[in-house]
Amino acid sequence: MARDRSPEAPLLIETTVDGRYQVIARLASGGMGEVYRALDPVLGREVAIKVLHPSLAGDPGFIDRFRREARAAAMLSHPNIVAVHDWGEAETTYFMVMEFVRGPNLRSILMRDGPLEPLQAAEVVSGVLSALEQAHREGIVHRDVKPENVMLTTDGGVKVADFGLARALADSRISHAPGTVTGTVQYLAPEQIEGEPADRRTDLYATGIVLYELLTGVVPFTGETSVAVAYKHLRERVPPPSRSNPMVPPSLDRVVLAATERDRERRTPDATTMRRDLERAKDELPPAPPLSELAASVAPADEVPPDRLATVTIPRPLTPKARRRRRFRWVWTTLSVLAVLAVAGWAVWTYVIPHRTRVPNVEGLRLAAAQRIAEQSRLELQVVRDEYSSTVAANRIIRQLLDPGSELEEGSSLRVVVSLGPEFVPVPEVTGMELAAARKTIRDARLEVGGIQRTYHDTVPAGHVIEQNPQQGTQLEVGEPVGLTISRGEEPVVVPGVVGLSEDEAASLIQGAGLGVAVVEQFSATVPRGDVVGQEPAADAEVRRGTTVTIVVSKGPRRFPMPNVVGMSKSSATAQLEGLGLTVRAVSLPGSSGSTVVGQRPAPDRTVEQGQEVTIYVGGG
């Protein structure tokens, strides 16, 4: 590697690495080295070169691991992984040649714009998980997933860099200097902090922290020292991101909390599962600008947030400037000792001598506001648990466990319960169920049965659910109603009145109403032949569709021989003839006082028909 050999000279433009790669510009600086943009004239493409700190070159453990991990990383090929093209040794250090990604890293985006839209955050982390799936299949654990190692391309793609380098650093002597932790402490999993071997679930923990930061703009744990932050990873659970950003839905809260379980046996088992959970959550998220638009709006920058803590101490060779700093450090140390004594006196007053304060009332306040008020009263706000509440908005204090106005020592904990907002549950499927079973299913889902409507239905049996509102899967607050439409069975048919109609007219009308027809003939002296005399069921009766209606059709008047009633009494003859449907006219003969029929017209055996008038002559002594 040709370079300016002055003691403090940085790598300059026009420098050539390994006699091949022409450096164009410096891109970033990290714990392991410097990253430069360079040109590979052999293949005619731009590349990114990570030049490791010279201090690492003297560590045999690091160099051995670096070679192995570089070979393994070079074999990874995936759209979401920054490709490794080459690696090697140049003079006093080592370098790695990687794909040059046009676009910012997540750190640049967070520093400029703060948190991403939930859908944007989900899409970015889905890309990270796709990269981890491929690496884990190849047996490679990243160990240092963080925003600085995730790039967005100008076309909206997601690229993960530095696979394997964290493993190499972990095996170096330098990384094990007292008081240092391998990796970036804000993203370290508890097992890494405790010195246990990392596995794929270790990467998922860091990915969950990255998702939290993308959703809220901050990491979940901060502190004045790396040890303080590491302690929180070991002792505290990552809070749901919705506590800091109420716009985060419960589905994304669940993804973050599952990935950041302290016990890795309870953590999301693999990147595939976490990505599927994230894809399901994306279905509930509101639209957001595409990632390409987000990437195009941010220029790549080498920025570090104010809460970032150094995680690895790397000694560097002393330059003349560094030696001057060492001489200055002695003076500074003396002043520091005096400052420490002053601070110690203040600490005795503050922490040894007890001070008391009154408990403020923080119920109903937002969590951030409650924290400020607690700090003003010199108390530490402690969230003991989260609860769902239909009356208190999310991220507000439901209740405090100390009465307002009571006295407490300064520095004590003010314990509070924080609202998660209303709890939502999915509506169960009850369509087709009998009403009693549907009621039980809805109540078991912690919902209520709302308005019930009843209507006729051709196929759904009476008493069963035709439809529900809302539909299955809709998210409702616990206790909200689900409306039901219940079947009354098949709609009845009203029997039309057909008496007096012709047989054909009656049959057509009955069949048009969806009913069957049966015909019975009967003599009638009053209804013309072929017309309907009667019907069963009667007109306007309600019957099931398909029921048979019997109609009585007139055969006209009945014809028969005239009976002989001569010699019968008037009353007997009249009764017999009227019983045959004849109209009887009785004529008494002049001068007769008797009641015996002495004559008739028509004569016996002559043909007569119902309704015809006949005459009997009554006489006798």
Q: Which residues are catalytic?
A: 144
Max Cα-Cα span within the chain: 172
CB 426 within 8 A of CB 445: yes
Tokens standing for residue 12: 């300059």
CB atoms within 10 A of CB 257: 18
| Cα–Cα dist 145/259, whole Å | 13
Question: Buried b / exposed e across 30-68, counting CB within 10 Å, b at 16+?
Answer: bbbbbbbbbbbeeeeeebbbbbbbebbbebebbbebbee
Q: DSSP character for 350?
A: I
CA distances from 435 to 28, 142, 444 (A): 67, 55, 14
Q: What angle do CA 10, 12, 14 make, to 5 degrees?
A: 160
Asked if 427 contacts 447 with a C-beta cutoff of 8 angstroms, the reply is yes
Query: Which phi and psi (to 5°) does residue 609 adopt?
Result: -140, 160
Q: How far is residue 229's CA from residue 187's CA, in Å, rounded to a whole number? A: 10
Q: Kindly give, in sequence order, each residue whose CB lies less than 8 Å from that of residue 232, ignoring residues fewer than 6 positions away.
A: 221, 223
Distance CA 302, CA 589 (A): 142
Decide: helix, strand or coil at residue 363: coil
Phi-psi region of 294 (alpha: psi -120 to 50; beta: other; left: phi over 0): alpha
